[in-house]
Structure 1
Amino acid sequence: MATVSTPVLHYVHDPLCGWCYGAAPLLGAAQAVEGLAIVLHGGGMMSGANRQSVNDKLRRHVMAHDLRIAQATGQPFGQAYVDGLLRDAGAVFDSTPPTTAILAAQEIAGLGLDMLHLIQQAHYVLGQRVADAGVLAALAQQLGLDAGRFAESFGSLAGAATEQHIAHSRALLARVGGQGFPTLAIEHADGRMVPVELGNWLGRTEEWRDYLRRQLSTQAQVNAAHGAPVCGLDGCIV
């Protein structure tokens, strides 16, 4: 990774990860922190061989987690999701298409995180099939993206490019010692990658925002102390 001058929040996520939906308010708060870059890394939790058709077993599994997520974070799970999508035997949970859509929104307008949030709302609140190209195209239009440009970007990023992104995301997950999704880590200017214990901040959006601002302030002090590398009038000091 390139050297950074201010902290970067790396977010290893999956659009079909319930705890990532639970963490959405924290990522929304991070967006409002001036000077903080957020880089998304889609991990493909339900991609390839892990994609699943909706059935009673899947419904029971996710609902047990959803209950805990709602209690811990206050995030809503809509009736259209609970009694609609989770009973839709024709639906398939596949992380790959929504991950491609997030990459396309980022490529076109830097709106990857906004697309992730819309996909999460569409899935967990509105009960929509977010693996369907038509649903993703509608969400892109909701973001204000040109339909033709989104379709072109989506097409170019589908397949090998998305698979490579997922592989890189999993490599980062291993590098920072993450156990799954979501995983957050702050990259500092000296290259340090510091994992963030997400459980400490769930439901504490204001404290989380203050924590991130302190990280920026600390980095600014380090940058000022070191100054820029320059040669003086009498020569260079090694």
Structure 2
Amino acid sequence: MILHYIYDPLCGWCYGAKPLVQAAQAVLPVLGHGGGMMTGANRQTVSAQLRNYVIPHDRRIAEYTGQPFGEAYFEGLLRDHTAVFDSAPPIAAVLAAEQIAGRGLELLGRLQSAHYVEGQRIADETVLQALAAQMGLDAQVFRQACMTADTEGHIKDSRALLSKVGGQGFPTFVLERNGQFTLIDIGPWFGKPQAFAQWLSQSLPTAEASSTAQTCGLDGCAH
């Protein structure tokens, strides 16, 4: 059995689900699929309008999930009008870390904390290089893997999987068992990673989806 995790690095609800992903990895293999929420025409330069849009959603995510959001994010990054929110570079970095060390989801978690707690610009190559180095990844190998990653193809495949399983946005969790895909509603499990892991280990064959899950849409977080 495999748990598929369709995410975006700039999705607040995916950051809210970070502890659930980590807990699930102790139970079964978890495969990450970057969805490219803020790529192409959906890339955004930080502005007052963007800040005013995301802060109420982020505060709700913090309250609902218990995940910390830092002042360096709210009062630093979200006031830096030279920063660009672009999902493609961090997805490429996750693909690179997975390719060279099988540590893609680990880097994703580090990127999420860097963004939402530390207010770092995770679309910047220098930031990605520094965070990878902190994890002990070889700088030259990592840089080359980022450059050669088929990020566009990966995003396309992730979107196709999302459509195939009937997912509505990010994060989407899908259990694959013997070629059958079952959506999992993680709404009840936010803030309860150990309970989620226990439920997974006991209830995998009967996992079902419902409509209560909190997600970001394909082109942005609007919930």
Q: Which residue is 1:197 aligned to? A: 185
Q: Which residue is 2:16 aligned to? A: 22
1:8 aligned to 2:2? yes
**Bigger-Rg structure (1/2):** 1
Q: Which residue is 1:104 aligned to? A: 96
| Alignment partners' CA distance in 2, 1:174 and 1:141 | 35
Q: Which residue is 2:151 aligned to? A: 162
Offset from partner CA, 1:34-87 (integer Å, 9 cap, x none): xx1111100000011100000011101110110110111110110110000000
Q: Which residue is 2:219 aligned to? A: none
Q: Which amino acid aligns with 1:164?
A: G
Using the size of structure 1 for normalisation, the TM-score is 0.84
| Alignment partners' CA distance in 1, 2:119 and 2:10 | 12
1:121 aligned to 2:113? yes
Q: Which amino acid aligns with 1:119?
A: L
| Alignment partners' CA distance in 1, 2:154 and 2:169 | 16
| Alignment partners' CA distance in 2, 1:198 and 1:182 | 9
Offset from partner CA, 1:182-223 (integer Å, 9 cap, x none): 00000002x11000011121112122011121256x69xxxx
Q: Which amino acid aligns with 1:123?
A: H
| Alignment partners' CA distance in 2, 1:76 and 1:204 | 15
The residue matched to 2:56 in structure 1 has which SS?
helix
**1:106 Cα offset (Å):** 0.2
The residue matched to 2:82 in structure 1 has which SS?
coil
**1:88 Cα offset (Å):** 0.2
Unaligned runs of 5+ in 2: 207-223
Q: Which residue is 1:76 aligned to? A: 68
The residue matched to 2:96 in structure 1 has which SS?
helix
| Alignment partners' CA distance in 2, 1:38 and 1:74 | 22
Using the size of structure 2 for normalisation, the TM-score is 0.90
| Alignment partners' CA distance in 2, 1:55 and 1:151 | 29
Q: Which amino acid aligns with 1:9?
A: L
1:42 aligned to 2:29? no
Q: Which amino acid aligns with 2:152?
A: E
RMSD value, Cα: 1.2
Q: Which amino acid aligns with 2:171?
A: P
